[in-house]
Each structure stands twice: as C-alpha cells, then as structure tokens.
Structure 1
C-alpha cells in the first residue's frame, strides 16, 4: 500500500489544544517517531533517516486537526520538513477524542514490504490547563524513549 494508516482513541477528561500542529506537543496531541534505516545506523542521535510527526486533533472549534513532520539533520536535530502529504482527522467523543492519520510511505522514503523493520515510537501529550500552551505530561509506549535518540525507540515490523 502507499500509506501508513493510524487510528487511536484517546481518553482525556480535559481537552486543551491552543496551537497549530507544528506546536501541537504543547497541548493534547500524539507524536510518532520513525527510524527508517534501523539496521544501517546505531548512533544515539537523529539523522536524515529519522522522522517525527506531530498529530494534533485541533481544538474542535477553530483549530483544525493537523500533522507536522520533522526530519533529523546532520547536526542531530529535528528540523522542519515541509512538503509532507500526511493528513489527520479527529472527532470529539464523550471520554476524549478519536484521531485517524494517513502518512504516505514516500514521506519517509520508504517502499513498504512484508518483513520491513523500522524504529517506531508512539507518544501522547497531555495538557489539562485551559488557555495554555504547555506539555504537562508525555507518555510513550516505550518507557525508556529519549526524544532524539532512535536507539531508545521501539520497533515496527510490517506484515
């Protein structure tokens, strides 16, 4: 297939999002990180084969759902990577929100195939203080995850 499809139901009693997707981590949002050359490098810092996507549900009023892509650079930083064709949609539900995203594999230079193994991490950001833009809590499915260290991320195997 040409895309990675992703869906999640987030339980959240107080929804706060005051920023666009690029700064979505400062409110309720998700982060997906990918190391597309898991077997090719073992440095504890990001490089050009590493990507981070911020998936924001928006605020369900005047800030729409959105996706922003960052890419590792030669200095070990995650920099803006404009031109992504990824998209997200979200709906508010009684106990939080549901978010679905579509990320073209070509956004990361990946040709998907059965057995392909890449580094991957899913993290959630939470902000429970209305009117603010801050990351009060971040939880990852990998408890040892370090933001710019792909060696600390999890693994995704395509079937």
Structure 2
C-alpha cells in the first residue's frame, strides 16, 4: 500500500469513528480530511528533483531514492537554478512581396583606351651602303633633251663636268696632257642617259669597228644598275654593263658606233645609242651620246644610285692592235671588279 492509500484509509477511519461528531459535523470533518489528503498527495508528487517518498525496508536501510535526496556527497548547492533548455522554434520565413526588377539605368563608365603594341620586324633595317670612295659623281635632270650635234656646249652649264685624271692602264706609255686628256659632262631625263666628251689626243687612231673598238681610240661607259644590291660584289654580274663608243675614223671609212661588251651573253652592237661627233682640231675631238635607259633595263628616278665610271682609250701606234693607255674617272679602276668603279647619283 502506498502513502496516498494509507492517508485515505486514515481519513476514512477518523471520519467514521469519531464519537464527538454529529451528522453534519461528520460530513464537514470528512470533507476537510479529504482536502488535506489531496494537498498531501499533491505535495508528495512535486518533491524536488523528481524524488518520491518511499517506505523504509525491513532492514531499516533507506530507499535509494531517499538516500539520493539527502546525500550531501554530491555537493548540491542550496539553491539550484534549472539550466536554460533551448527549445526549437519553428522558422517562419519572412516573405518579401514580389516587386518588379527595375531596368538598369545608364551610368557613367570609364572609357578604356586600348594600348596598341606594335610588333616590329626582327630583321635589321635596310641601310644604304656608303658611297664609293674613289668617285662620287652627280647627273642633273634635263627638262629639255639636248640637241645631238657632237658637243655639250648648250647643256654643260645645266649639269656637272668632270675629268678623267686616273690611270687605269698603261701609265708608262703616257707622255703628257697633250698625249691624252679627257673631260666629260653627264645628265639624264626619263628616256636617256646623256654623255658629252671632250678628248685631247695628239694622234687620233681608230681603225676598228664592232667588238674591237677598244683597241683604238674610244670611250667606255661602265654602269652597275644594281649598286645597292651587290655593293660589295667584286665580280661582274648580269646587272653590270660595259659599253664602248667610237667616233669612227676621221676619213669616214669606219663609221661611229656603240658596242656592248658586257654582259657577254648579250654582247653586240647597240644601234639604239645615238652618237654624234665633232673634230674640233687635229688633236681635239668631241663625242655626244644619248643612251636609252631601256638598254639597261631600268627606270630612272631622282636619287637613284648607280655604279659608274667612264674611260678613254688611246692607241698612238698605228701598227699596233692594242691600246697603249687608258684614263678613268675612277681611281684604282679594274674593268672586271665593280667595287672599284665610281658612283653616279641622279639629281632632280
């Protein structure tokens, strides 16, 4: 029997057996007793820490529940504040009312200027070689083509005049300026290269024509049409030209003419070269020539640089079949080595 049952039995016993109670008194007593029992029961059910009062067993040892209640070995503080127990609360999301997404408005933005990196070629820039040191000559442009009359008198003041003071061959055979001396003028236009010569020669001798004219008294024009392309090439190539011009004989039995010696694969007479001549005296003669640029296969332009030299051949021995002396505009000239030629610049 538990404690509540015992109290109920006690209450009932008191109510029934009390001799001092009347009928109504008995009812009142019974009601109060019942209320007291209920209070005691409620108090028993709400003991601290959830412990309940139990009876002592037969050996007088307190029940483990009561022992725990009064045991001070656990150092339970006098006042215990129950720990705060977190309770889960259902999360109710806050729902924002749907609103229209505004269109983005134009804002001022920074202007980015692209940086352009220019990659240059890794090859070295083409630099024109230095001028030939042995002769640097200039040909002026003629707006009016000169009259071919054997003399440069009417156009020499419009261009430049040069001499041929250098020995290219036969210095030992040369006596003095009366023996052999030469001067020339050079000019150009879009059609021709113009040359005018004044030669002093005490004995004029030209018994040859065609490919043998160089063995008599004659003039030669050397031209390298690709000077910058083979500036350091010391052998003749297809762009190197050797042209001989002869005044023919004084008697007229051998006509004047031009002969291309080199390139040798196209060697031969060049009738397109216009030649005129004058016998100024027994020891002075003049030659004027208009050489078409087409003979050289090039189109002239202002500033064009050409390998260039002019020579005069002399043969005073009428019984000999070879020249005795050759004078040149270029110092140290070798006909077969273009790097020893001079240079001509077209000026406009």
Give the structure-1-normalised TM-score: 0.90
Cα separation, 2, equivalents of 1:153 and 1:136? 21
CA distance in 2, matches of 1:82, 1:64: 15
Q: Normalized per residue, which structure has more strand?
A: 1
1:23 — aligned with what?
Answer: 212
Contact 2:198 2:284 in 1 (8 A): yes
Which residue does 2:201 correspond to in 1? 12
**Structure 1: where are the runs of 5+ without partners?**
73-77
Matched, 1:88 2:275: yes
Pairs within 5 Å for 1:9-158:
9-41=198-230, 42-61=232-251, 62-72=253-263, 78-82=264-268, 84=270, 85-94=272-281, 95-158=283-346
Which structure has more relative contact order (CA 8 Å, sep 6+)? It is: 1
CA distance in 2, matches of 1:131, 1:99: 25
For structure 2, which runs of at least 5 residues remain unmatched after alignment?
A: 1-189
Where do 4+ consecutive residues of structure 1 move more than 4 Å? Answer: none
- Is the 1:18–1:131 Cα contact (8 Å) retained in structure 2? no
The count of residues paired between Structure 1 and Structure 2 equals: 154
TM-score (norm 2): 0.43
User: Does the Cα contact within 8 Å between 2:246 and 2:257 map onto a contact in 1?
Assistant: yes
Counting helix residues as a fraction of each chain, which structure ranks higher?
2
1:146–1:153 CA contact under 8 A, matched in 2: yes
* Cα pair distance change 1:143/1:79, threshold 3 Å: farther
